[in-house]
Amino acid sequence: MKQKNFALIGVAGYVAPRHMQAIKDTNNKLIVALDKNDSVGILDRYFHDVSFFTEFERLDRHAEKLRRKLEEERIHYVSICSPNYLHDSHIRFALRIDANAICEKPLVLNPWNLDALQSLENESDKRIFTVLQLRLHPVIIELKEKINREYSNKKYNIDLQYVTSRGKWFLISWKGDISKSGGIATNIGIHFFDMLLWIFGKKINNKVTINEATKMSGELELEKANVTWSLSINMEDLPDVARKNGKTIYRSLKINDEEFEFSEGFADLHTIVYKDILSGKGLGIEDARASIELAHEIRNYKM
């Protein structure tokens, strides 16, 4: 397979190194990067010959120049790790420079934005891909196959708890602004909501029981399961077993009171996502729709 050129938007972000590793692991090349934060020395761990910009307008101009050059010099994929509220704009940029988009979760914040992007995608010969890496986790694939085999009209009882400790910076940053992040249901929980919908079917009913800036919980009725869920960024919500082991993250998924273990195997999932995309597969707009609709409904739920 011929080497592809990548641009990365949001290179100083938390998840960007996973994308750089995936680009490197798939024997492709990062040629352009953007971040308003110029502390991006981490680039040197992966690639050295990268044109770096701190202003989107200058990136735009550079990408347009590359678009008019030979095929091997152009940007073929734009990897998007920017704040959630900028995803829509950056996806549009990718299509405009005749590149495919690979966008971190959530693809967009609002369901109606998906329709507009779908129209643009249909008008181009490029694709919009989303990163829903839990669907490629071997243990989770195995669970979905097991549920499909065993389900017999009796709904499973699911209990999901996820605590990922965050300091005071979180609420001061864009992540603490619900208009920019979608709140913790979107910013923290959307992968888990997508996983549950993918395995247990579409949403029937939804109820939110706690709705705070740092903690949310609720109840979901899906086609094949009744789900209670809790998301938190408060260290105080860590169970004792996690604190005793010095852990700052706790995830638990119980199916009919039996713990389902999927804590391991996260390290290389982005590489698997990239391999999937580059092989001609990959998850797109319609794959992302159900979880984006659910997260939107949750954050706008009237208590």
pLDDT tens-digit readout, 225-269: 999 999 999 999 999 888 888 889 998 999 999 999 776 656 689
pLDDT at position 264, please? 65
pLDDT of residue 266: 65
Statement: residue 75 has pLDDT above 80: yes
So what's the pLDDT on residue 245?
85
Among 250, 285, 252, 301, residue whose Cα is nearest residue 105: 285
pTM: 0.95
- Is the model more confident about 268 or about 274? 274
Average pLDDT, integer, range 107-121: 97
Give me the half-sphere count of Cα atoms (radius 13 Å) on the Cβ side of residue 192: 24
Q: Three-state secondary structure along 125-159?
A: CCCEEECCHHHHCHHHHHHHHHHHHHCCCCCEEEE
Quick one: three-class SS letters along the chain? Answer: CCCCEEEEECCCCCCHHHHHHHHHHCCCEEEEEECCCCCCHHHHHCCCCCEEECCHHHHHHHHHHHHCCCHHHCCCEEEECCCHHHHHHHHHHHHHCCCEEEECCCCCCCHHHHHHHHHHHHHCCCCEEECCHHHHCHHHHHHHHHHHHHCCCCCEEEEEEEEECCCCHHHHCHHHCHHHHCHHHHHCCHHHHHHHHHHHCCEEEEEEEEECCCEEEEEEEECCEEEEEEEECCHHHCCHHHHHCCCCEEEEEEECCEEECCCCCCCCHHHHHHHHHHCCCCCCHHHHHHHHHHHHHHHCCCC
What percentage of the chain has pLDDT greater than the value 70? 98
Residue 106: asked if its preceding bond is cis (omega within 30°), the reply is: yes
Residue 36 in this model has a pLDDT that exceeds 90: yes
Q: In the structure encoding, which two tokens stand for residue 238, read together?
A: 């860590």
**pLDDT-based confidence at 33, cuts 50/70/90?**
very high
Average pLDDT estimate for 91-102: 98
pLDDT at 198 over 80: yes
Q: How many other CB atoms are found less than 10 A from the CB of residue 116?
A: 13
Statement: residue 89 has pLDDT above 90: yes
CA-closest candidate to residue 250, choices 142, 168, 165: 165
Which residue, among 290, 174, 177, 155, has the nearest Cα to 223 in the 3D structure? 155
| Nearest C-alpha neighbor of 299 from the set 168, 152, 184 | 184
Domains, the chain? 5-130 (3.40.50.720), 135-265+294-299 (3.30.360.10)
Return the pLDDT at 261.
Answer: 77
Q: What is the pLDDT of residues 122-177, one digit of tens each?
A: 999 999 999 999 999 999 999 999 999 998 889 999 999 999 999 999 999 999 99
d(CA 277, CA 257): 36
Whether the per-residue pLDDT at 1 is higher than 80: the answer is: no
Average pLDDT for residues 277-282, to the nearest whole number?
A: 96
